[in-house]
A = this chain, B = another copy of it.
Amino acid sequence: MSVWGRGTLNLSIFGESHGPGIGVVIDGLPAGEEIDVEELMAFCARRAPGRSSTATKRKEPDRPEFLSGLLDGRTTGAPLCAVIRNSDTHSGDYDNLRTTARPGHADYTAWLRFQGYNDVRGSGHFSGRLTAPLVVAGGIAKQILRRRGVEVGAHILSVHSIVDRAFDPVAVTAQTLRSVGEQTFPVLDKDAGERMIGAIEQAAAELNSLGGVVECCAVGFPAGVGTPMFDGLENSLSSILFGIPAVKGVEFGAGFDAAGLTGAENNDEFELQEGRVVTRTNHHGGILGGISSGMPITMRVAFKPTPSISRPQQTVNFQEGCACELVVKGRHDPCVVPRAVPCVEAAAAFALLSYLV
């Protein structure tokens, strides 16, 4: 299902990469929320392809048309539908994928699941392009959250073995979260960013691709929100984040590193700051027992390297049941991580908003 919801906030994403259009219906937005469409477009542009050497050459404006739910710049309370038309499609590139499994891609599993009826052009509904409507939904959520004092931001924490400086999990500010997102290549350490770009360009030149990690943070989220067990912040955030193609891991606070710590190291001692309960450190990532503590909510999301690489690879023709060699054609990002940054922000913002409406 391409439906996600909790409480009374829902989204339903539709579309296939080379069909007439893609889009999203958001149900349950509060009425009367001002949506700055130009700001939203700027946010969507962060995900759009064709901006830099690190991304696919496919150029699409990704400008949504709002069919409903928005009137005179404000939400009406009715379901909001945004549609993005597809264009600049080179469907011929995908002819050999109808029956041949790209390693690392969903071609084979989709064929099984949908008995061969799925639209394979441009990977159909499995395309990374389907994150465009998610970014529309999340961009709207971000604007509403900001009005409630919550800022969500993200950056590239790593590409392959090159690591950016992490957010300060205790002191990160809304200003930092906003400014990092305004960069074409969102990193905190510009030098690391340069090296990442170099590595991606080199991988592209070698007909290879790279993975990486996005770090995301929310500040200003009220304390005491969430519930234990299955409706906690970590449950809902992870369930939406794994909806972004290529995500293979999600962690909060110290995450997997916490597994290597002792309790004395990992426990975040509480203290009072100007009458407010805070923790000195933030290994808990702002979430304890599924409930927000008032500290920054921090998460990291691991992306695998783009599976579509143009090297010859061994694979099978699953329809004919024979081995073959495949050279993937088409235009693909040598590293999805730069464009995944707003996707992670969007998914996180949408999940967080579901607790506040």
Contact = CB atoms under 8 A, between A and B. Distances in A.
A269 to B, nearest CB: 4
Contacts of A223: 109, 112
Given A2-B79, A22-B68, A68-B22, A232 B243 contact: yes
A24 B339 CA distance: 29
Contact of A228 (B125, B265, B285): B125
A113 B210 CA distance: 42
A161 interface: yes
With most chain B CB atoms within 10 A of its CB, the pick from A109, A256, A264 is A109
B243 A304 contact: no
Contact of A253 (B69, B112, B248): B248
Interface of A: 1-5, 7-8, 10, 12-16, 19-23, 25, 27-28, 31-32, 65-69, 71, 74-81, 83, 101, 103-106, 108-110, 112-119, 124-126, 130, 158, 160-161, 203, 208-213, 223-232, 234-236, 238-240, 242-243, 245, 247-256, 258-272, 275, 277, 279-280, 283-285, 287-293, 300, 302-309, 311, 313-316, 318, 321-323
| A-B pairs, 5 with minimum CB distance | A106-B289, A112-B224, A249-B251, A209-B263, A78-B125
8 contacts: A7-B7, A103-B268, A110-B289, A125-B228, A130-B228, A203-B262, A238-B250, A248-B258
